[in-house]
Chains A and B, each alone.
Chain A
Protein backbone atom coordinates (compact mmCIF):
# COMPACT_ATOMS: atom_id res chain seq x y z
CA UNK A 1 0.00 0.00 0.00
CA UNK A 2 2.78 2.41 0.89
CA UNK A 3 5.33 2.26 -1.88
CA UNK A 4 7.99 4.90 -2.26
CA UNK A 5 8.11 7.34 -5.16
CA UNK A 6 11.67 6.43 -6.12
CA UNK A 7 12.39 4.94 -9.55
CA UNK A 8 15.06 2.26 -10.02
CA UNK A 9 17.86 3.35 -12.28
CA UNK A 10 21.48 4.27 -12.65
CA UNK A 11 21.38 7.86 -13.88
CA UNK A 12 23.92 10.44 -12.60
CA UNK A 13 21.28 11.70 -10.16
CA UNK A 14 20.83 8.16 -8.80
CA UNK A 15 24.55 7.86 -8.14
CA UNK A 16 24.83 11.24 -6.42
CA UNK A 17 24.92 11.07 -2.59
CA UNK A 18 21.67 12.03 -0.84
CA UNK A 19 23.22 14.90 1.09
CA UNK A 20 24.69 16.37 -2.09
CA UNK A 21 21.28 16.29 -3.79
CA UNK A 22 19.60 18.01 -0.85
CA UNK A 23 22.26 20.73 -0.69
CA UNK A 24 21.99 21.38 -4.44
CA UNK A 25 18.19 21.53 -4.19
CA UNK A 26 18.36 23.97 -1.30
CA UNK A 27 20.88 26.17 -3.10
CA UNK A 28 18.75 26.09 -6.26
CA UNK A 29 15.70 27.20 -4.24
CA UNK A 30 17.53 30.25 -2.89
CA UNK A 31 19.03 31.09 -6.28
CA UNK A 32 15.67 30.83 -8.06
CA UNK A 33 14.10 33.37 -5.72
CA UNK A 34 16.95 35.81 -6.35
CA UNK A 35 16.54 35.55 -10.12
CA UNK A 36 13.79 37.36 -11.98
CA UNK A 37 15.33 37.46 -15.46
CA UNK A 38 13.40 35.35 -17.97
CA UNK A 39 16.56 34.86 -20.06
CA UNK A 40 17.91 32.76 -17.17
CA UNK A 41 14.66 31.32 -15.81
CA UNK A 42 13.45 29.76 -19.08
CA UNK A 43 16.68 27.78 -19.63
CA UNK A 44 16.55 26.77 -15.94
CA UNK A 45 13.05 25.35 -16.46
CA UNK A 46 14.24 23.48 -19.56
CA UNK A 47 17.17 22.09 -17.61
CA UNK A 48 14.96 20.89 -14.75
CA UNK A 49 12.56 19.17 -17.19
CA UNK A 50 15.54 17.42 -18.79
CA UNK A 51 16.93 16.47 -15.40
CA UNK A 52 13.60 15.06 -14.21
CA UNK A 53 13.12 13.02 -17.39
CA UNK A 54 16.75 11.80 -17.24
CA UNK A 55 15.79 9.78 -14.16
CA UNK A 56 13.99 7.37 -16.49
CA UNK A 57 10.57 8.15 -15.03
CA UNK A 58 8.64 8.42 -18.31
CA UNK A 59 6.53 11.39 -19.37
CA UNK A 60 3.16 10.01 -18.26
CA UNK A 61 4.29 9.11 -14.74
CA UNK A 62 6.21 12.38 -14.42
CA UNK A 63 3.09 14.35 -15.35
CA UNK A 64 0.86 12.29 -13.05
CA UNK A 65 3.09 12.99 -10.05
CA UNK A 66 3.61 16.69 -10.49
CA UNK A 67 0.26 17.73 -11.96
CA UNK A 68 -1.31 18.74 -8.63
CA UNK A 69 1.55 20.97 -7.51
CA UNK A 70 2.01 22.33 -11.04
CA UNK A 71 -1.71 23.14 -11.07
CA UNK A 72 -1.31 25.33 -7.98
CA UNK A 73 1.75 26.92 -9.61
CA UNK A 74 -0.35 27.62 -12.70
CA UNK A 75 -3.08 29.25 -10.60
CA UNK A 76 -0.55 31.51 -8.92
CA UNK A 77 1.01 32.38 -12.28
CA UNK A 78 -2.44 33.10 -13.72
CA UNK A 79 -3.19 35.45 -10.83
CA UNK A 80 0.06 37.29 -11.55
CA UNK A 81 -0.76 37.52 -15.26
CA UNK A 82 -4.22 38.96 -14.56
CA UNK A 83 -3.40 41.31 -11.70
CA UNK A 84 0.18 42.27 -12.57
CA UNK A 85 1.57 41.59 -16.04
CA UNK A 86 2.11 38.57 -18.33
CA UNK A 87 5.84 39.00 -17.75
CA UNK A 88 5.43 38.66 -13.99
CA UNK A 89 3.22 35.58 -14.54
CA UNK A 90 5.90 33.95 -16.70
CA UNK A 91 8.62 34.68 -14.12
CA UNK A 92 6.59 33.13 -11.30
CA UNK A 93 5.63 30.13 -13.42
CA UNK A 94 9.22 29.40 -14.49
CA UNK A 95 10.65 29.92 -11.01
CA UNK A 96 8.16 27.74 -9.14
CA UNK A 97 7.85 24.94 -11.68
CA UNK A 98 11.66 24.67 -11.95
CA UNK A 99 11.83 24.22 -8.20
CA UNK A 100 8.97 21.69 -8.16
CA UNK A 101 10.56 19.60 -10.95
CA UNK A 102 13.99 19.64 -9.28
CA UNK A 103 12.45 18.50 -6.00
CA UNK A 104 10.52 15.77 -7.82
CA UNK A 105 13.75 14.64 -9.50
CA UNK A 106 15.46 14.28 -6.10
CA UNK A 107 12.50 12.25 -4.79
CA UNK A 108 12.47 10.03 -7.89
CA UNK A 109 16.14 9.14 -7.49
CA UNK A 110 16.36 8.66 -3.72
CA UNK A 111 15.21 5.44 -2.07
CA UNK A 112 13.25 5.65 1.18
CA UNK A 113 15.85 3.78 3.24
CA UNK A 114 18.72 5.88 1.85
CA UNK A 115 16.79 9.05 2.65
CA UNK A 116 15.93 7.77 6.12
CA UNK A 117 19.62 6.97 6.79
CA UNK A 118 20.50 10.55 5.85
CA UNK A 119 17.75 11.92 8.15
CA UNK A 120 19.07 9.74 10.99
CA UNK A 121 22.55 11.13 10.44
CA UNK A 122 21.19 14.68 10.40
CA UNK A 123 19.28 14.38 13.68
CA UNK A 124 21.91 12.41 15.61
CA UNK A 125 23.68 15.65 16.69
CA UNK A 126 20.35 16.83 18.17
CA UNK A 127 20.37 13.89 20.60
CA UNK A 128 22.85 15.74 22.78
CA UNK A 129 20.25 18.41 23.53
CA UNK A 130 17.71 15.77 24.51
CA UNK A 131 15.12 16.81 21.87
CA UNK A 132 14.72 13.54 20.08
CA UNK A 133 16.45 10.22 19.68
CA UNK A 134 17.31 9.24 16.12
CA UNK A 135 16.47 5.59 16.84
CA UNK A 136 12.99 6.61 18.04
CA UNK A 137 12.32 8.47 14.80
CA UNK A 138 13.20 5.43 12.69
CA UNK A 139 11.08 3.27 15.00
CA UNK A 140 8.10 5.62 14.56
CA UNK A 141 8.51 5.71 10.76
CA UNK A 142 8.59 1.91 10.71
CA UNK A 143 5.47 1.73 12.87
CA UNK A 144 3.49 4.05 10.58
CA UNK A 145 4.40 2.05 7.47
CA UNK A 146 3.47 -1.14 9.33
CA UNK A 147 0.08 0.08 10.62
CA UNK A 148 -1.38 2.11 7.73
CA UNK A 149 -2.72 -0.98 5.88
CA UNK A 150 -4.18 -2.32 9.12
CA UNK A 151 -5.96 0.92 10.01
CA UNK A 152 -7.25 1.23 6.44
CA UNK A 153 -8.67 -2.30 6.67
CA UNK A 154 -10.25 -1.38 10.00
CA UNK A 155 -11.93 1.62 8.38
CA UNK A 156 -13.36 -0.78 5.77
CA UNK A 157 -14.71 -3.04 8.53
CA UNK A 158 -16.35 -0.13 10.35
CA UNK A 159 -18.07 1.14 7.21
CA UNK A 160 -19.17 -2.44 6.38
CA UNK A 161 -20.64 -2.66 9.89
CA UNK A 162 -22.53 0.58 9.23
CA UNK A 163 -23.96 -0.80 6.00
CA UNK A 164 -24.94 -4.11 7.64
CA UNK A 165 -27.03 -2.13 10.12
CA UNK A 166 -28.53 0.08 7.45
CA UNK A 167 -26.79 3.20 8.78
CA UNK A 168 -25.33 5.88 6.51
CA UNK A 169 -21.50 5.95 6.57
CA UNK A 170 -20.85 9.36 8.15
CA UNK A 171 -17.39 10.77 8.92
CA UNK A 172 -18.20 11.29 12.58
CA UNK A 173 -19.66 7.85 13.30
CA UNK A 174 -16.75 6.08 11.57
CA UNK A 175 -13.95 8.32 12.84
CA UNK A 176 -14.57 7.94 16.57
CA UNK A 177 -14.54 4.11 16.66
CA UNK A 178 -11.57 4.10 14.26
CA UNK A 179 -9.52 6.36 16.53
CA UNK A 180 -10.48 4.66 19.80
CA UNK A 181 -9.91 1.13 18.45
CA UNK A 182 -6.54 2.13 16.96
CA UNK A 183 -5.19 4.01 19.96
CA UNK A 184 -6.31 1.23 22.33
CA UNK A 185 -3.65 -0.98 20.69
CA UNK A 186 -0.92 1.40 21.85
CA UNK A 187 -0.38 -0.32 25.20
CA UNK A 188 0.06 -3.77 23.65
CA UNK A 189 2.40 -2.48 20.94
CA UNK A 190 4.46 -0.50 23.45
CA UNK A 191 4.73 -3.57 25.66
CA UNK A 192 5.85 -5.69 22.72
CA UNK A 193 8.51 -3.11 21.80
CA UNK A 194 9.81 -2.89 25.37
CA UNK A 195 9.77 -6.67 25.80
CA UNK A 196 12.10 -6.96 22.82
CA UNK A 197 14.41 -4.33 24.27
CA UNK A 198 14.36 -2.20 21.09
CA UNK A 199 14.87 1.07 22.95
CA UNK A 200 17.48 -0.27 25.42
CA UNK A 201 16.00 1.48 28.44
Chain B
Protein backbone atom coordinates (compact mmCIF):
# COMPACT_ATOMS: atom_id res chain seq x y z
CA UNK B 1 0.00 0.00 0.00
CA UNK B 2 1.23 3.45 -0.88
CA UNK B 3 1.28 6.29 1.65
CA UNK B 4 -1.60 7.90 -0.24
CA UNK B 5 -3.77 4.80 0.30
CA UNK B 6 -3.05 4.84 4.03
CA UNK B 7 -3.97 8.53 4.17
CA UNK B 8 -7.19 7.92 2.21
CA UNK B 9 -8.12 5.07 4.58
CA UNK B 10 -7.45 7.24 7.64
CA UNK B 11 -9.35 10.23 6.23
CA UNK B 12 -12.36 8.07 5.39
CA UNK B 13 -12.29 6.51 8.85
CA UNK B 14 -12.33 10.06 10.21
CA UNK B 15 -15.35 10.85 8.00
CA UNK B 16 -17.16 7.79 9.41
CA UNK B 17 -16.37 9.02 12.95
CA UNK B 18 -17.71 12.51 12.10
CA UNK B 19 -20.91 10.98 10.67
CA UNK B 20 -21.40 9.39 14.09
CA UNK B 21 -21.12 12.80 15.78
CA UNK B 22 -24.03 14.24 13.79
CA UNK B 23 -27.42 14.09 15.52
CA UNK B 24 -29.64 11.22 14.33
CA UNK B 25 -32.52 12.06 12.00
CA UNK B 26 -36.04 10.93 12.88
CA UNK B 27 -38.54 10.37 10.09
CA UNK B 28 -42.24 10.17 10.87
CA UNK B 29 -42.92 6.87 9.13
CA UNK B 30 -39.98 4.89 10.60
CA UNK B 31 -39.94 3.94 14.30
CA UNK B 32 -36.16 4.14 14.81
CA UNK B 33 -33.91 7.20 14.43
CA UNK B 34 -31.49 7.06 11.50
CA UNK B 35 -27.80 7.59 12.21
CA UNK B 36 -25.49 8.49 9.38
CA UNK B 37 -22.68 6.21 10.54
CA UNK B 38 -23.71 3.04 8.71
CA UNK B 39 -24.15 5.20 5.63
CA UNK B 40 -20.41 5.82 5.97
CA UNK B 41 -19.83 2.07 5.70
CA UNK B 42 -21.67 1.87 2.35
CA UNK B 43 -19.86 4.99 1.15
CA UNK B 44 -16.44 3.60 2.13
CA UNK B 45 -16.94 0.70 -0.27
CA UNK B 46 -18.58 2.78 -3.01
CA UNK B 47 -15.90 5.47 -2.97
CA UNK B 48 -12.63 3.80 -1.97
CA UNK B 49 -13.26 0.30 -3.34
CA UNK B 50 -13.08 -3.08 -1.61
CA UNK B 51 -9.69 -3.19 0.12
CA UNK B 52 -9.37 0.45 1.15
CA UNK B 53 -13.05 0.67 2.12
CA UNK B 54 -12.85 -2.38 4.37
CA UNK B 55 -9.59 -1.07 5.87
CA UNK B 56 -11.25 2.27 6.71
CA UNK B 57 -14.10 0.50 8.55
CA UNK B 58 -11.64 -1.82 10.31
CA UNK B 59 -9.70 1.24 11.46
CA UNK B 60 -12.86 2.71 13.01
CA UNK B 61 -13.47 -0.57 14.86
CA UNK B 62 -9.87 -0.54 16.09
CA UNK B 63 -10.45 2.94 17.53
CA UNK B 64 -13.60 1.65 19.24
CA UNK B 65 -11.71 -1.32 20.70
CA UNK B 66 -8.86 0.74 22.15
CA UNK B 67 -11.41 2.87 23.99
CA UNK B 68 -12.33 5.90 21.90
CA UNK B 69 -16.02 6.89 21.91
CA UNK B 70 -16.29 7.06 18.12
CA UNK B 71 -19.54 5.19 17.47
CA UNK B 72 -22.79 7.16 17.12
CA UNK B 73 -24.09 8.42 20.45
CA UNK B 74 -20.56 8.52 21.88
CA UNK B 75 -20.39 4.74 22.32
CA UNK B 76 -17.03 3.00 22.43
CA UNK B 77 -14.79 0.61 24.27
CA UNK B 78 -14.78 -3.16 24.42
CA UNK B 79 -18.29 -3.25 25.92
CA UNK B 80 -19.73 -2.57 22.46
CA UNK B 81 -18.18 -5.80 21.18
CA UNK B 82 -19.55 -7.74 24.15
CA UNK B 83 -23.14 -6.64 23.49
CA UNK B 84 -25.69 -8.60 21.45
CA UNK B 85 -25.45 -6.29 18.41
CA UNK B 86 -21.68 -6.64 17.89
CA UNK B 87 -22.25 -8.82 14.81
CA UNK B 88 -23.45 -5.78 12.88
CA UNK B 89 -20.13 -4.04 13.58
CA UNK B 90 -18.17 -7.07 12.36
CA UNK B 91 -20.49 -7.19 9.37
CA UNK B 92 -19.57 -3.57 8.55
CA UNK B 93 -16.04 -4.63 7.56
CA UNK B 94 -17.22 -7.40 5.22
CA UNK B 95 -20.12 -5.24 4.03
CA UNK B 96 -17.77 -2.44 2.98
CA UNK B 97 -15.57 -5.01 1.24
CA UNK B 98 -18.41 -6.58 -0.75
CA UNK B 99 -19.88 -3.15 -1.51
CA UNK B 100 -16.50 -2.07 -2.88
CA UNK B 101 -16.07 -5.29 -4.82
CA UNK B 102 -19.41 -4.85 -6.59
CA UNK B 103 -18.79 -1.16 -7.25
CA UNK B 104 -15.31 -1.90 -8.66
CA UNK B 105 -16.66 -4.56 -11.00
CA UNK B 106 -19.80 -2.78 -12.22
CA UNK B 107 -19.06 0.93 -12.26
CA UNK B 108 -17.17 2.42 -15.20
CA UNK B 109 -16.50 6.12 -15.62
CA UNK B 110 -17.63 6.18 -19.26
CA UNK B 111 -20.99 4.51 -18.46
CA UNK B 112 -24.22 6.50 -18.73
CA UNK B 113 -25.41 8.00 -15.44
CA UNK B 114 -28.32 5.61 -14.93
CA UNK B 115 -26.24 2.42 -15.06
CA UNK B 116 -23.70 3.97 -12.67
CA UNK B 117 -26.51 4.80 -10.25
CA UNK B 118 -27.98 1.29 -10.49
CA UNK B 119 -24.54 -0.27 -9.93
CA UNK B 120 -23.97 1.83 -6.82
CA UNK B 121 -27.45 0.96 -5.54
CA UNK B 122 -26.75 -2.76 -6.03
CA UNK B 123 -23.41 -2.39 -4.22
CA UNK B 124 -24.96 -0.51 -1.28
CA UNK B 125 -27.94 -2.88 -0.93
CA UNK B 126 -26.01 -6.16 -1.28
CA UNK B 127 -22.85 -5.13 0.61
CA UNK B 128 -24.09 -2.42 2.97
CA UNK B 129 -27.36 -4.14 3.94
CA UNK B 130 -27.26 -7.81 2.89
CA UNK B 131 -23.80 -8.69 4.13
CA UNK B 132 -24.10 -6.57 7.28
CA UNK B 133 -27.37 -8.33 8.23
CA UNK B 134 -25.83 -11.69 7.33
CA UNK B 135 -23.35 -11.18 10.17
CA UNK B 136 -25.56 -9.19 12.52
CA UNK B 137 -28.66 -11.37 12.65
CA UNK B 138 -27.08 -14.80 13.37
CA UNK B 139 -24.81 -13.17 15.97
CA UNK B 140 -27.80 -11.52 17.65
CA UNK B 141 -29.68 -14.81 17.43
CA UNK B 142 -26.81 -16.69 19.07
CA UNK B 143 -26.40 -14.09 21.83
CA UNK B 144 -30.10 -14.05 22.59
CA UNK B 145 -30.24 -17.72 23.47
CA UNK B 146 -33.49 -19.54 22.84
CA UNK B 147 -35.63 -16.65 21.61
CA UNK B 148 -33.38 -16.30 18.58
CA UNK B 149 -36.03 -16.13 15.88
CA UNK B 150 -38.01 -13.34 17.55
CA UNK B 151 -35.01 -11.09 18.28
CA UNK B 152 -33.56 -11.53 14.79
CA UNK B 153 -36.93 -10.68 13.25
CA UNK B 154 -37.23 -7.62 15.49
CA UNK B 155 -33.97 -6.25 14.10
CA UNK B 156 -35.74 -5.84 10.76
CA UNK B 157 -37.19 -2.52 12.04
CA UNK B 158 -33.90 -1.00 10.88
CA UNK B 159 -34.43 -2.14 7.29
CA UNK B 160 -36.44 0.87 6.01
CA UNK B 161 -33.84 3.30 7.36
CA UNK B 162 -31.06 1.25 5.79
CA UNK B 163 -32.81 1.30 2.43
CA UNK B 164 -32.94 5.10 2.60
CA UNK B 165 -29.23 5.11 3.39
CA UNK B 166 -28.50 2.85 0.41
CA UNK B 167 -30.33 5.36 -1.77
CA UNK B 168 -28.27 8.26 -0.35
CA UNK B 169 -25.07 6.19 -0.79
CA UNK B 170 -26.02 5.60 -4.42
CA UNK B 171 -26.42 9.33 -5.13
CA UNK B 172 -23.35 10.36 -3.11
CA UNK B 173 -21.19 7.59 -4.58
CA UNK B 174 -22.03 8.66 -8.11
CA UNK B 175 -21.51 12.38 -7.25
CA UNK B 176 -18.07 11.70 -5.76
CA UNK B 177 -17.16 9.55 -8.77
CA UNK B 178 -18.01 12.51 -11.01
CA UNK B 179 -16.20 15.05 -8.85
CA UNK B 180 -13.13 13.19 -7.60
CA UNK B 181 -12.88 9.61 -8.87
CA UNK B 182 -10.95 7.23 -6.60
CA UNK B 183 -12.72 3.96 -7.37
CA UNK B 184 -10.94 3.17 -10.69
CA UNK B 185 -7.45 3.30 -9.13
CA UNK B 186 -8.09 0.61 -6.56
CA UNK B 187 -5.38 -0.35 -4.10
Chain A residues close to B by CB (< 8 Å): 2-6, 25, 29, 65-66, 68-69, 72-73, 75-76, 79-80, 82-84, 88, 91-92, 96, 99-104, 106-108, 110-112, 115-116, 119, 136-137, 139-141, 143-145, 147-148, 151-152, 155, 171-172, 175-176, 178-180, 182-187, 189-190, 193-194, 199, 201
Contact = CB atoms under 8 A, between A and B. Distances in A.
B145 A88 contact: yes
A96 B13 CA distance: 29
B82 A103 contact: yes
B78 A106 contact: yes
A4 B144 contact: no
Q: In the A-B complex, list the 7 residue pairs whose CB atoms are closest, starting with the nearest.
A: A107-B77, A143-B10, A103-B78, A69-B83, A103-B82, A104-B79, A190-B4
Interface residues of B, number: 62
B68 interface: yes
Interface in B44-91: 47, 59-60, 62-63, 65-70, 73, 75-85
What secondary structure prevails in chain A residues at the interface with B?
A: helix
B6 interface: yes
B137 to A, nearest CB: 13
Nearest to A114: B66
B36 A184 contact: no
A184 B51 CA distance: 19
A134 to B, nearest CB: 12
Nearest to A110: B67
A83 B76 contact: no
B159 interface: no
Contact of A184 (B22, B43, B75, B180): B180
B28 interface: no
B124 to A, nearest CB: 13
A180 B180 contact: yes
Interface in B106-147: 140, 143-147
A137 B59 CA distance: 8
B66 A29 contact: no
Nearest to A111: B67
B171 to A, nearest CB: 6
Contacts of A176: 172, 175-176, 179
Contact of A2 (B62, B68, B83, B182): B68
